[in-house]
Chains A and B, each alone.
Chain A
Amino acid sequence: MSGTFAPAPGRAPMRAVLRSQVRMELTLTARRGEAVVLAMGVPLLVLLGAGLTHATNVPGGDRLAFVVPGVLALTVMSTAFTGQAITTGYERSYGVLKRLGASPLTRPGLLFSKIAAVLGLIVVQLLVLAAVGVAVGWRPHFGQLLPAIGITVLATAAYSGLALLLASVLKPETTTAAATFIYVLMLAAGGIMFAAPNLGTAGWFILPLAAHAEALRQTLSHDAAVPGSIWLSLSLWTLVFVSAAARKFRWE
């Protein structure tokens, strides 16, 4: 084995490094049972349960027009916020963030891989859930598709900021509890299975999930524009939590 360790250091092409890192992130997500349930199981159950039965009262005559966009918004929150907060909290406590940050992957590379994995996951989830929605009778419009995508990207950024913030300031067990609690709270009060508490415009600023769901309803179910107050609300959420996460983020 002489010469086996002769130094020949160097970083692989960054594209290759990032590709294998994203693959690892996705592999590990698929391996965690609760992540898969959060990502697909709960949204599917809500979609089919609230969309096809009369278990809950929803506003308007078209149940699917109300429920399916809400389920899409819920999915974005579960992956970008709940899943990401839990994963990041544990990876920090296990020293994974610290270790990978001190590898040729680098810290920016690690952050990029995480964002890419979350975005990729969200795209696949949304396509699958929308397809199920269409299969059971949802009839979406595509005239406002670009604003719908825009508001979804904004929501993803806001949720990710909040997730990374929680994972940085709390212990992993507390992060898990808090992220799950907020998820359940939003599921109940966020206007997904039944109407959100009517708080007027203020509601969009207090409940980002309700705001995102309403934006998707307006655009995809009703072919209408995203209300200005919702753009403002989610922009504020993004600004506040992404900048807080940038300041507070801890690698170890």
Chain B
Amino acid sequence: MVSEDAVDLQDVVVRYGATTAVDGVSLRMFRGRVLALLGHNGAGKTSLLQVCEGFRSPDGGRARVLGLDPIADHDALMPRLGIMLQSGGVYPWATTGEILRLFASYASNPIDPEQLLDLLGLRKIERTRFRRLSGGEQQRLSLAIALVGRPELVFLDEPTAGMDTEARHTTWRLIEQLRTDGVSVLLTTHLLDEAERLADDVVIMRSGVVAATGSPAELTAAAGIDLLSVRAEPSLTLDGRLAGLDIKENTPGEYAITGPLDATTIAEVLSWFADAGARVTAVNTRRRTLEDVYLALTTGEKAAAKR
């Protein structure tokens, strides 16, 4: 069974009444990978995760997790999964230590709760009841609960939401450690740097459908257009010699050149500046970031959702 995909979704549909939250999503996640589901709030990320976790059955399509049906094979699947919910799910009147030890007691071969308490910086709040914890502390405990049973596959729903910068970096290092140790990780996020840093594969969702998939590098490369910016005197006359390239003076003296840029065309651009007698003081190239791709793909979604 080891050859089974971590997650295999085919045409999954999730509806809430008249609203369609997920509208036919297919995706495969291989074992040992870190996959980030990226999208605005309401794009359908959490709904999709709920299907994978067996919390709801899809209104259409088929879901397989570790080769099993999340609902029909629920009891066989659960010990192999680590689940981190966005919020709640924990006895408010139990302490951090009690909760972590409870979940450890469910597992045949748990990570020592004492070690996890230290690793996730929970030692100081070991005897604090859950309802007294800050949002970030609750998140860290939820993450510890997800990991304590040594799962094969973990689902992390916005794992760093509500965390301060330090806790966020700790969590990122932890997720990198999970990958190193061979754990498959499916996480949702709307933080682009999080996806870019952690994910082997990124799935961008928009309004319940998959807008793009690929590694962060593939997504940025496929989007193509790099940017060349040149600083020189303001108000140079832009003539037609650079056909195919688009030159704009965005702010006085700052020229942005877009189009099919490569070594040859960049050289042409610079010689054009030289021929125009310009004194060039700075030249920068910039690759498109995941953020550019993401914004290009998802812009207009919120406006569309309001209509």
Contact = CB atoms under 8 A, between A and B. Distances in A.
B90 A99 contact: yes
A11 B83 CA distance: 15
Contact of A5 (B74, B79, B91, B183): B183
A28 to B, nearest CB: 6
A10 B108 CA distance: 5
Interface in B62-120: 74-75, 78-81, 83, 85, 87-94, 98, 101-103, 105-109, 111, 115, 119
Given A7-B151, A10-B109, A1 B102 contact: no
Contacts of A13: 108
Interface stretch (A103-111, A161-169, A215-223, A226-234): A103-111
B147 A91 contact: no
B202 interface: no
Interface stretch (B159-167, B173-181, B291-299): B173-181
Nearest to B129: A31
A11 B149 CA distance: 8
A91 B150 contact: no
Contact of B92 (A5, A6, A94, A103): A94
B150 A8 contact: yes
A4 B91 contact: no
Contacts of A99: 83, 85, 88-90
Interface in B236-259: none
A12 interface: yes
A98 interface: yes
Interface stretch (A15-23, A52-60, A185-193, A204-212): A15-23
B79 A28 contact: no
B128 to A, nearest CB: 14
Nearest to A31: B93
A61 interface: no
A5 B181 CA distance: 6
Nearest to B131: A94
Interface string A12-50: 110011001100100110011000000000000000000
Interface string A93-121: 01110111011111000000000000000
B111 A96 contact: no
Contacts of B98: 24, 27
Interface residues of A, number: 36
A8 B94 contact: no
A37 B38 CA distance: 49
A1 B181 CA distance: 10
A2 interface: yes
A27 B251 CA distance: 67
Contacts of A90: 92
B82 to A, nearest CB: 9
A200 interface: no
Contacts of A1: 119, 177
A102 B142 CA distance: 13
Contact of B78 (A7, A95, A102): A102
Q: Would you list the 3 A-B pairs with minimal beta carbon distance, nearest first?
A: A99-B89, A95-B88, A10-B108
Interface of B: 53-55, 74-75, 78-81, 83, 85, 87-94, 98, 101-103, 105-109, 111, 115, 119, 147, 149-152, 177-178, 180-183
Given A4-B177, A31-B93, A96-B90, 4 more contacts: A6-B182, A9-B149, A99-B88, A104-B78
20 contacts: A2-B180, A2-B181, A5-B147, A6-B150, A7-B182, A9-B149, A9-B152, A13-B108, A20-B102, A90-B92, A94-B88, A94-B89, A95-B89, A96-B91, A99-B89, A102-B54, A103-B78, A104-B106, A106-B75, A252-B55
